[in-house]
Amino acid sequence: MAGADKRGERKPGEAAGARRITASHLYDFAVCEHRVALDFSLDRSQRTPPDEALSLLMRRGRDVEHAIAGSLKYEFVEPDPSDPAAAHAKTLELMRQGVRGIYQGVLLSGRHLAIPDLMRREPGRSDLGDFHYVAGDIKSGLEPRTDQVLQVVFAARLLDRIQGRRPATGFLLMGDGAETVFETEDVWDSAGIALDTLERIADEGSQTFPALNDGCARCRWRATCLPEMAKGPDLSFVAGLTRSRQRILMREGLRTAADIAALGEAEIRTLETRGVATEGLVTLQKQAHALLQGRIRARARRRLDPLSPGCLREHFLIAARDPLSGGEPFLFGYTSRPEAGAPADRTEILLAENDEKRAQALRSLLGWLGEGDERIFHFGETARRCFERIEDISAFDPAQAGRSEARFVDLAPLVRGGAYFPVRRYRFDEIAAAVGRHPLPPLEEPEDASFVWFENHRAGLPGDWKGRIEERARRDLASLVAVRDWVRRRVEEP
């Protein structure tokens, strides 16, 4: 390691054999602290290999990174996992030379290692001279996330030690070429707290616990955690229960959905006397009962706004985004029926491999929707966001598109407000299974797996990939109609 820079030396109290903390650890910590604990405690041979979808994501993510970095023509630091100190020395040499930018620079300080995708020279005095460097990452998605920002701030913290100046900003270059700049101060302390916790986990084996979240389906430790969690089922299977609350309840000996469902009034009062917040606990109990009993439990009714006179036709819209192309829409499916409860009289599935076909899809959608006031039912934010995205890339009358958007009705909050469902998460595929009285999808099955079929279709690989996509889309449309009918029966009828 380049020992000439005192800021790169090990901090007091850091043992020579201390386990290294990397930006990847911080990224994973933001998703699930237990994942990081397993990284430190279990052998790599026990990991579950990435599925086909994740492999595609990783490969295309690297392609996007290389393409953007190549266009910037920054100085490249050759990676050497076996000798990060040498790569760090090369990075320091480039920094002292004041090069315009560095790609894959290695920052090493004590036990902390970061490899930001990009380091960019900016004016402002530092130990290097009349300039300093700020860190940034390249992401294939369209919207920045907290875990991505934490990675960049981790690199900024190392730059603070190495160059003698704290970078005031960090940046993310997104898949569509847009740059997001943020103030490092906003998350500086949060990153420090996370790092302290990570060090305790690495050094002391601090107690962590698994909790069901959206990252479980593709986690490398899913074969370790999910089977055990499903046996309970685990407390985190109760939808609406936060990780913080789970931690508190576990201290009181409550570890499964059955434990919380079995609480009586006396037990709840005892918890209150022990200083445990019990607000909302009854709601969680009802959710636990629905999950354990496998049936929908009614709750207070709500009413949709009355249908406009003479506008009985109903439209249903689904959409899917391709994370391999920055989150661009690749699928729209829609169906219509003349009135509530009637069979569908028109269904169409549209695939959109590029901007031209997305514009064609928008023309078809607007023609299908017409200029009336009929509702457009969807579930969650994906369909609306995909609709808005193709508006952004197409030269269409914004007033017409706006009138269509005003007719969108999201069934997700109506479902959640109408009953307690026997689901682990209020995802569309789980709600559809509950309404259709089908088994819940496997825990390791991601919602967005169909994009793999689309990528295979786009690449021209052998197989009826388009047929599989269309079959899945028709099934989802039928499920959306079934969810709408449940809402109508449960929520709208007197």
Residue 491 within any structural domain of the chain: yes
Residues 6 or more apart in contact with residue 211 via CB below 8 angstroms? 32, 34, 234, 236, 243, 246
10-56 per-position pLDDT tens digit: 333 344 457 899 999 998 998 899 999 999 999 999 999 988 888 88
Longest dimension (CA), the chain: 80
Tell me how far apart the alpha carbons of residues 329 and 351 are, in angstroms, rounded to a whole number.
Answer: 9
Whether 435 maps to a domain, the answer reads yes
Q: Give the model confidence (pLDDT) of 218-243 as tens digits.
A: 899 999 999 999 998 999 999 999 99
Region for 380 from its dihedrals, namely left if φ exceeds 0, alpha if ψ lies in -120 to 50, beta otherwise: left
Per-residue pLDDT tens for 322-343? 876 667 889 999 999 998 889 9
Q: Is pLDDT above 90 for 7?
A: no
Same domain, 125 and 60: yes
Q: What is the per-residue pLDDT for 292? A: 96
Supply the pTM of this predicted model: 0.83
Domain's final residue, options 204, 239, 270: 204
Q: Are 288 and 238 in contact (CB under 8 A)?
A: yes
* Calpha distance 257→328 (Å, rounded): 38
Note whether 77 and 128 are same-domain residues: yes
Boundaries of domain holding 183: 6-204
Q: Are residues 328 and 459 in the same domain?
A: yes
Show which of 263, 293, 323 is a domain's final residue: 293
Together in a domain, 427 and 454: yes
User: Which DSSP string do the residues of 465-488 spell out, in sequence order?
Assistant: HHHHHHHHHHHHHHHHHHHHHHHI
Assess whether pLDDT exceeds 90 at residue 449. no
Helix (H) or strand (E) holding 23: helix 23-31
Mean pLDDT, rounded, for 371-378: 88
Q: 254 and 341: one domain?
A: no
Per-residue pLDDT, 2? 31
Whether 209 is in a domain gets the answer: no
What is the tens place of the pLDDT at every residue in 84-128?
999 999 999 999 999 999 999 999 999 999 999 999 999 999 999
What CATH number corresponds to the domain at position 434? Answer: 3.30.420.10
Whole-number Å distance between alpha carbons of 481 and 476 = 9
Q: How far is it, in rounded angstroms, from Cα 126 to Cα 7?
A: 13
